[in-house]
Amino acid sequence: MTDFPPSLLILNGKGAGEPALREAINQLREDGVEIHVRVTWEKGDAARYLDEACRLGVATVIAGGGDGTINEVATAIIQCENSYIPALGLLPLGTANDFATSVGIPDELEKALKLAIAGNATAIDIARVNDKTCFINMATGGFGTRITSETPEKLKAALGGVSYLIHGLMRMDTLKADRCEIRGENFHWQGDALVIGIGNGRQAGGGQQLCPDALINDGLLHLRIFTGEELLPALFTTLSRPEESPNLIDGVSSWFEITAPHDITFNLDGEPMSGREFRIETLPHALECRLPPGCPLLR
Ligand SMILES: Nc1ncnc2c1ncn2[C@@H]1O[C@H](COP(=O)(O)OP(=O)(O)OP(=O)(O)O)[C@@H](O)[C@H]1O
Ligand SMILES: [Mg+2]
């Protein structure tokens, strides 16, 4: 175990109190593994800790948290100007953990931690929105957006991924289609959208497979639009039997442009961003990530 390369774990403060994690870290250290731990309090902390990781020269920066934490660490990695850039490791400690779940990170904390430190580093894509904000997993707009961005923190903590769906059902009064226009390579669509999913990864909102064929290292984004003509019934048949639904529009492109006459809120890995114009593009092979063998999201 002593030949494990050094790493720095960036732990989201929300999940830092876990005694099993302390135990697992202590065990690794006893086995001679060099592992630094830093805890975040607010947005921006992950980027500051990445600077420290570079100074320490660690091989891996582990994102300990949910999709939002992975997003912050991955964004900091691709913006890093150091000559040696650490790989990303994943330790799922969030609510939905959609990215980590879909790439096959083990549930068991100790196994996930070992994989994060010593797994094979593979180049993966990231998506960038309006030349600035990134997402590594999914951007969801419309109804799904409201589900995630309005789920109260406490409910999230108590119910895990399921709370996204329950909260969405409680807030059916907010269900409303958004008119928009979407362009991509060989793609153009205009109409009323209920949910828009744009995926580098496949699932969002606690297990909803919005882009079931997406791969994270193919340089492409997968788009799925749930059209709004039939509102609620459409959404439920679509989520349960996607292959039979007349309410789905799919597209694949390395970029998409979305414009709307009213503000759309997109959730980028679970963190909201509003506007009327979005240009989303992939940055192919922008960072290295330690993934399990046979990861289903690699081509
Ligand atoms: N100590 C802290 N307490 C509360 N929030 C924090 C803390 N540190 C960071 N954050 C914020 O937590 C958010 C990211 O949370 P994250 O996505 O990792 O967990 P989650 O939302 O519970 O899980 P998931 O996205 O997988 O459902 C970011 O907005 C970040 O700024
Ligand atoms: Mg989150």
Q: CA-CA distance, 135 to 124, in Å (whole number)?
A: 12
Which bound ligand lies closest to the C-alpha atom of 73? 1
Q: Is 39 exposed, middle or buried (0-12, 13-18, 19+ CB in 10 A)?
A: middle
Exposure string for 226-239, b = 16+ CB within 10 A, e = fewer = bbbeebeebbeebb
| pLDDT score of 244 more than 90 | no
Whether 272 lines ligand 1, by a CB cut-off of 6 Å, is no
Whether 270 lines ligand 1, by a CB cut-off of 6 Å, is yes
Spatial CB neighbours of 186, under 8 Å, sequence gap ≥ 6:
253
Q: Which tens digit of pLDDT belongs to each residue from 120-158?
A: 999 999 999 999 999 999 998 875 455 556 666 766 666
pLDDT bin (cut points 50, 70, 90) of residue 180 is very high
Spatial CB neighbours of 21, under 8 Å, sequence gap ≥ 6:
11, 15, 64, 93, 109
Q: Which of 168, 172, 188, 190 is nearest to 180 (CA)?
A: 190
The pLDDT score that the predictor gives to residue 79 is: 94
The pLDDT score that the predictor gives to residue 231 is: 47
The CA-to-CA distance between both ends of the chain, in Å, stands at: 30
Q: Is 262 helix (H, G, I), strand (E, B) or coil?
A: strand
CB of 66 within 8 A of CB of 151? no
Mean local confidence (pLDDT), 100-120? 96
Span of 195-204, 223-232, 257-266 with lowest mean pLDDT: 223-232
CA of 158 to the centre of ligand 2 (A): 14
Q: What CATH fold (topology level) applies to the domain 7-119? A: Rossmann fold (3.40.50)
Instruction: Pull the structure tokens for residue 192.
Output: 């009323």
Q: What is the ipTM of this complex?
A: 0.97
CB of 76 within 8 A of CB of 133? no
Mean local confidence (pLDDT), 30-37? 96
Instruction: Pull the structure tokens for residue 122.
Output: 């593979």
**Number of other residues whose CB lies within 10 A of the CB of residue 206:** 24
Q: Could you tell me the pTM of the whole model?
A: 0.91
User: Which residues form the catalytic set?
Assistant: 271
Which bound ligand lies closest to the C-alpha atom of 67? 1
User: Where do the domains of the chain lie?
Assistant: 7-119, 133-284
Q: What CATH fold (topology level) applies to the domain 133-284? A: Tumour Suppressor Smad4 (2.60.200)
